[in-house]
Amino acid sequence: MRHFLAIDLGAESGRVILGTLADGKLALEELHRFPNTPVRLATGLHWDTFRLFHEIQQGLAVAGRERHLKLDGIGVDTWGVDYGLFDANGELIANPRHYRDERNDGMLEKTFAVVPREDVFAETGIQFMQLNSLYQFYASKLANSPGLANAKTLLFMPDLLNYWLTGVMKAERTIASTSQFYNPKLRTWATGLLGKLGLPVQILPEIVDPGVKLGNLHGWLAEGSGLAETPVFTSAGHDTASAVAAVPATGDDWCYISSGTWSLMGVEIDEPIINEQSLALNYTNEIGVGGKVRLLKNIAGLWLLQECKRSWEAEGKNFSYDELTKLAGEARPKVALIDPDAFLHTGNMPQRIADWCKEHGQAVPETTGEFCRVILESLAERYRQVLENLESLTGRRINVIHIVGGGSRNMLLNKLVAEATGRRVIAGPVEATAAGNILVQAIGSGAIKDLDEARAVVRASFEVVEVQ
């Protein structure tokens, strides 16, 4: 029996999850949950970094002091692109900005004025989004950031937390590949691109693969949490890479949707596809577990529903997600179709959707249920478009869509996806990210062999639902 901890930071909450691996099966148990909400200051939108690390320590203490566990590993995953800057003494000198920070507005155009869009894609093969690390990095330079001027090391968020856990500064490959300054063909930093933009390449750390032991938990952390000497593994630091590692798929005729705040829809391939077609379609080539490439599209996901829920709560209308899904199921179908990716920033989402519909000559949703149904139907239609583009890019037929993550519980959305695409849709596991995080650690520790065995463990451990 092996015990691993997954530290998983999602867009709404963070969790410390215990994974127990025994007899070819994985059991998960949530030990500690805490909110993960950005903090708005006059300077912009930031991660609440120190509080999050405090909560992580609380989760470690549950494992050590309350449960008296001996752990075989700890691993961290978060979303991509965001980073912190450290000085020569190893102190955080620029608190990480949140990717929805308005500082990124207009940065693509400013970057392309120096390096053409085609050249950026040729170097990185990454979908153009203003939230990407490249544009955050360049915005910091244009703002004459004192933090950047004095930075010794740049660490993406999982790498930052790994450093605080172990004292080791490394860049994990899956998270590095989300930055748009990583070259997926050469499997190293795109230093030429950064040089053209006048960005410091010397602050980028060594890149290591998922499943590498970084070191042991700091002694003071082990003592404070009641844990013995415990290894910390890189895991797959990008939460989507962890989730894809836990897709219970066989064969090669499948794609995945990692469904949550964002929907990331793609396929696994052996080499990146960086050509005129993938540039025109604006697809991304990120690194996965086992040396795989994740050819995918980022879609704005259930973020729109989450923001609507927040807006309604501010008006005193409190709905659970199950209630919103029920209302959507009862609402008029096909009131309007919106572009989910047109809604990046926070704000009054129902009003923003209504305004978008008016501007595009479409009917405006009238009820709570209609707003929810418009979001879900629009996501399903977007998935259909992405599916067809993936087939065109890879030249292979996709027969099965695996939907994993928290969004896989939304059976109305799953049904709409099946109807829109005409493909088999299999939902689950819900906890794919935590499962993948733990299974990558297990590969690193030698407890399981490889990605194929990890997926066999998933199939043996979690119930999935085929959507009818």
pLDDT number for residue 345: 78
Q: Is 162 left (phi over 0), alpha (psi -120 to 50) or beta?
A: alpha
Write out the chain's pLDDT in tens, 468 residues: 999 999 999 988 999 999 999 999 999 999 999 999 999 999 999 999 999 999 999 999 999 999 999 999 999 999 999 999 999 999 999 889 998 899 999 999 999 999 999 999 999 999 999 999 999 999 999 999 999 999 999 999 999 999 999 999 999 999 999 999 999 999 999 999 999 999 999 999 999 999 999 999 999 999 999 999 999 999 999 999 999 999 999 999 999 999 998 899 999 999 999 999 999 999 999 999 999 999 999 998 998 999 999 999 999 999 999 999 999 999 999 999 999 989 877 789 999 999 999 999 999 999 999 999 999 999 999 999 999 999 999 999 999 999 999 999 999 999 999 999 999 999 999 999 999 999 999 999 999 999 999 999 999 999 999 997
The continuous run of DSSP H or E covering 149 comes out as helix 146-149
Element (H, E) at 394: helix 368-394
Q: What is the pTM of this model?
A: 0.93
Architecture of domain 249-428: 2-Layer Sandwich (3.30)
Burial of 439 (0-12, 13-18, 19+ CB in 10 A): buried
Q: Where are the domains of the chain?
A: 2-233, 249-428
Alpha carbons 173 and 152: distance in angstroms, whole number: 20
Asked if the peptide bond before residue 205 counts as cis, ω within 30 degrees of 0, the response is no
Active site (annotated) includes residue 239: yes
Count the neighbouring beta carbons within 10 Å of the beta carbon of residue 9.
Answer: 22
Amino acid at 211: G
Q: What is the pLDDT of residue 216?
A: 98
CATH superfamily, domain at 2-233: ATPase, nucleotide binding domain (3.30.420.40)
Is the CA virtual torsion 310, 315, 320, 325 positive or negative? Answer: negative
243: its two tokens? 């989730």
Q: What is residue 283's DSSP assignment? A: -
pLDDT of residue 354: 97
Please tell me the predicted confidence (pLDDT) of residue 468. 74
Exactly one of 105, 239, 322, 450 is catalytic; which is it? 239
Report the run of H or E that residue 432 belongs to, with start and end: helix 432-445
Please state, in angstroms and rounded to a whole number, the distance separating the CA atoms of residues 256 and 461: 19
